[in-house]
Structure 1
Amino acid sequence: MQNKIVGYCSFIYHDLDQFNASISPMILERLASVSSVCLLNEKTKLESYERMKGFFLEEIINAGQQGNYHDLIMKAGLIGVDLSKPFYICVLDCRFQEDDLSKELEMQKEILSFLTAYGNEQKQNMLIGQRAKHLILLVTEDQVEKAGIQPWLSKMVDLLSSQFSSVKFYGGISSKVNNVSYAGDAYKEALTSVRVASKHQQIISFESLGVVGVLINEKNEQEVKKIAKACLGNLKLDDPKNIELLRTLYIFLVNGGNLEQTAADLALSISGLRYRVSKIESILQQELRNPMIHHQLLLSIQSLMMIGEIDIGIK
């Protein structure tokens, strides 16, 4: 089916006199044709149904607080999703090792198919959508209440990583939503969270971002950007040469100033790291060991990452 083997057929003859070298291939060819058409029909129906669910998820996210709350719940009920219950929105960031758009698109289809099959197998009726390299999942609380949303998504990421070894997966989780009218806000929370995820912490919940995550919203992004850039001073973000220094600074701050751990994460020698730290302190004209400076710089970089202003390649 579509140039892929999806099944096998064997003939077992109890009596060799029944074997006919000309008829058997004809039977096999006809059987293969009928089977592939039936399977393709079922596959097409399933893919169409999942695409429809994806479009519906887009409608939920875009509806906003002015959308018809009862209409959305009624539509969701028709596909077996109870949006009257609390739910979470998760964003999965897929990082591909090869920069090949056609391969990425094909891989995204396979990832979506895998998630759909997994959901059906586990009897979890979740909504799955896609935006750029992000996958969006809407999961009701009752489907994850035993394990909790973070362990549930962590298990999902582990399964995807084992199935698609050439792709790196990172997840962001919104806070719990009790009203479908706030689904758009929940999506933004999950998107904000996944921007801060890294190999050190692949799954980030919005609640774990603390007060910084709550303070950043569309109305104050420009103010946050202005304050954060002012804090970073002469370490200009628009200079490509400073990206590696920003990356070094961020990992150094996240590790609490631990030189050994930072050097290991950056694959640098201790002397090389000391040189970089000294250079950063010279540019900023600040002492990184000062707790107040340390805290302000870390929040500034995290804030810029959350609003998508910088990508320092920590994933």
Structure 2
Amino acid sequence: NELLGFLSFLKINTLYSELEMMLAQQVANFLAVLLAHDRKIAEIELKLKGNFVEDLISGNYLDIESIKARARALEYDITIPNRVLVAQFDEAKQFSRYKNNDEQNSFRHELIKKIQSVTALTAPSMAVSGKNEIIILVQADKPNHTFEAIKHIAQEIIRKVSPLLKTKLYIGIGTRCTELEDYKRSYLSAKKALEIGEFMITEGQIRSFEQFKIHALFLSTLNPAELYSYARKLLQPLLDYDDKHNAELIKTLQEFLYLRNNVEGTAKSLNMSVSGIKYRLQKIQKITGYNLKDHKLCFDLQLALIILQLFGEYNVLNG
């Protein structure tokens, strides 16, 4: 009793004869069978693609030739450079109005079709539904398939898909794949970029290690929430003082540490007198109890400042 589509006939000024009605019913029955058959094939293809991508990004295949053969059967080339993209949205919020899993799966299929139509304009791709995410393979073998081009694809996906969603769509861009074992690494880097981006209030809906640059090396190995808590705890007294007194002790400390504890250089950089900088540094030590001659402590403070910058806590200085 499932509705697969509509069949319309138009006849002007005369009624349909009994024979015409019988023919129309026969045509409708034939098309219903054809549509059901096509949909079944599409469902099987989606399942094959889903299993293939899951095995590819997890490294769960018997040998290299077997996974290559599966890719060829699906008419997709994994032997040339690719990137793995991961798209996520708040499924609990999105699916709150859906009655059952069939409706949710139908919506996911529509999203995948929309995503495929967007990526096809720039590069061959394959999109499948994963657990609480959509995984997208995008070929990046042409000179014009730069990181910026892949980022543009992600932007277009968000632009086209967002009207279908009740919540924001976020996309993580994985590292470039040149070998089969790179697909797992690319997928994990896309996932980690999304995780890190959750804690960075300055980041947009597209996230990648390329944009995090060198800081991704330590962000990727540590818990972002713990990093933020550590940095906040270390600098909390100064943050509170600046907020309460509209002061610039954090800015002064950052510049002082950036210039390797050079008082004269800090004064010149901030367009202040040397005595003014010395007063601020004494104030910092008094409020925090920190000894700014302790090089290890200064390193920890500088790291904490970098972490808060990455998390969008305040404007980044010195580039």
Q: What TM-score does the superposition give when structure 1 sets the normalisation length? A: 0.65
Q: Match of 2:187, SS?
A: helix
Structure 1 residues 13 and 101, CA, compared in 2 at 3 Å: closer, same or farther? closer
Structure 1 residues 93 and 280, CA, compared in 2 at 3 Å: closer, same or farther? farther
Is 1:33 matched with 2:29?
yes
Q: What TM-score does the superposition give when structure 2 sets the normalisation length? A: 0.64
Aligned to 1:51: 47
Q: Distance in 1 between matches of 2:161 and 2:202?
A: 15
Deviation per CA, 1:146-194: give whole Å up to 9, x if none.
Answer: 87111011111111113x0424211110121111212111111111122
Aligned to 1:113: 110
Structure 1 residues 158 and 227, CA, compared in 2 at 3 Å: closer, same or farther? closer
Is 1:173 matched with 2:184?
no
Is 1:211 matched with 2:214?
yes
Structure 1 residues 108 and 20, CA, compared in 2 at 3 Å: closer, same or farther? closer
Q: Distance in 2 between matches of 1:12 and 1:294?
A: 75
Structure 1 residues 12 and 27, CA, compared in 2 at 3 Å: closer, same or farther? same
Q: Distance in 2 between matches of 1:226 and 1:95?
A: 23
Is 1:137 matched with 2:140?
no
Unaligned runs of 5+ in 1: 236-248, 250-276, 303-315
Structure 1 residues 45 and 151, CA, compared in 2 at 3 Å: closer, same or farther? same
Structure 1 residues 170 and 118, CA, compared in 2 at 3 Å: closer, same or farther? closer
Q: CA deviation at 1:35?
A: 1.2
Question: Are the equivalent residues in 2 in contact too, given 1:171–1:202 (CA < 8 A)?
Answer: yes
Structure 1 residues 56 and 48, CA, compared in 2 at 3 Å: closer, same or farther? same
Following superposition of structure 1 onto structure 2, how do residues 72-221 of structure 1 map, counting pairs within 5 Å?
72-96=67-91, 97-98=93-94, 100=96, 102=98, 105=101, 106-107=103-104, 109-116=106-113, 119=116, 122=120, 125-142=124-141, 145=145, 148-162=149-163, 164-195=164-195, 196=197, 201-217=204-220, 220-221=221-222
Q: CA deviation at 1:37?
A: 1.8
Q: Match of 1:3, SS?
A: coil
Q: Match of 1:91, SS?
A: strand
Amino acid at match of 2:106: K
Q: Match of 1:137, SS?
A: strand
Aligned to 2:38: 42
Q: Distance in 1 between matches of 2:49 and 2:95?
A: 29
Higher relative contact order (CA 8 A, sep 6+): 1
Q: Distance in 1 between matches of 2:28 and 2:165?
A: 32
Name the stretch that deviates more: 205-214 or 68-77.
Answer: 68-77
Counterpart selection for 2:56 from 55, 60, 67: 60
Question: Are the equivalent residues in 2 in contact too, given 1:172–1:205 (CA < 8 A)?
Answer: yes
Question: Are the equivalent residues in 2 in contact too, given 1:69–1:181 (CA < 8 A)?
Answer: no
Q: Match of 2:168, SS?
A: strand
Structure 1 residues 98 and 210, CA, compared in 2 at 3 Å: closer, same or farther? same
Q: Distance in 1 between matches of 2:56 and 2:177?
A: 13
Amino acid at match of 1:2: E
Q: CA deviation at 1:23?
A: 4.0
Aligned to 1:233: 233
Q: Distance in 1 between matches of 2:8 and 2:16?
A: 17
Structure 1 residues 118 and 134, CA, compared in 2 at 3 Å: closer, same or farther? closer
Q: Distance in 1 between matches of 2:175 and 2:62?
A: 20
Q: CA deviation at 1:297?
A: 2.6
Q: CA deviation at 1:212?
A: 2.4
Q: Distance in 2 between matches of 1:94 and 1:170?
A: 6
Q: CA deviation at 1:56?
A: 0.3
Structure 1 residues 129 and 118, CA, compared in 2 at 3 Å: closer, same or farther? closer
Q: Distance in 1 between matches of 2:54 and 2:33?
A: 31
Q: CA deviation at 1:100?
A: 1.8
Q: CA deviation at 1:226?
A: 5.5
CA RMSD of aligned residues (A): 3.8
The structure with the largest alpha-carbon Rg is 2
